[in-house]
Amino acid sequence: MKVVAIVLACLLVVGLLVSRSQQEQDPLKNHKFTVVKTDAEWRKLLTPEQYKITRQKSTELACSGAYWKNHEKGIYQCVCCKLPLFDSKTKFESGTGWPSFYQAIHKDAILEIPDYSFGMVRTEILCSRCGAHLGHVFEDGPRPTGLRYCLNSVALHFVKDAQ
């Protein structure tokens, strides 16, 4: 019984140290979002599903979004602030059920931050203008970057190329 208590105490201390370390290295600490709204303003602007995903960091079900099978040419913007994020030229079929891209339209369009939720270590991506949760990036994508930006369709607004 003493061994179990010691192990649990050690795990608690390590957890507190990791949590504190993560807070001290907050990647958003020095970032200033240029589009800032109250929760009430976001709720008025967005649908309930858009609000849940972009402001509360939820995830839509695989194969349920409007853009996972979209093959039209155009630009994918942030649904909250319309910042251009991804070009259809970098979209690819990942087999995941979410729209996937191997490169952002510009490196400053998105923010990458550590995500330790659900007992996993991932990299969350946010809109750099308004802080909307977009999805996650993984290192299992195609060339030339080897990255897979896995996005929620609900977090995006698609603007079709004029032809």
Report pLDDT digits (tens) over 55-109: 999 999 999 999 999 999 999 999 999 999 999 999 999 999 999 999 999 999 9
Report pLDDT digits (tens) over 26-43: 777 788 999 999 999 999
From the list 81, 127, 130, 150, the catalytic residue is 150
Asked whether the whole model's pTM tops 0.85, one would answer no
The beta strands (E) that lie in 8-129 are given as 74-78, 84-87, 91-92, 100-101, 110-115, 122-127
Q: Is 150 a catalytic residue?
A: yes
The CATH superfamily assigned to 31-160 is Peptide methionine sulfoxide reductase. (2.170.150.20)
Question: How many Å apart are CA 66 and CA 148, to the nearest integer?
Answer: 18
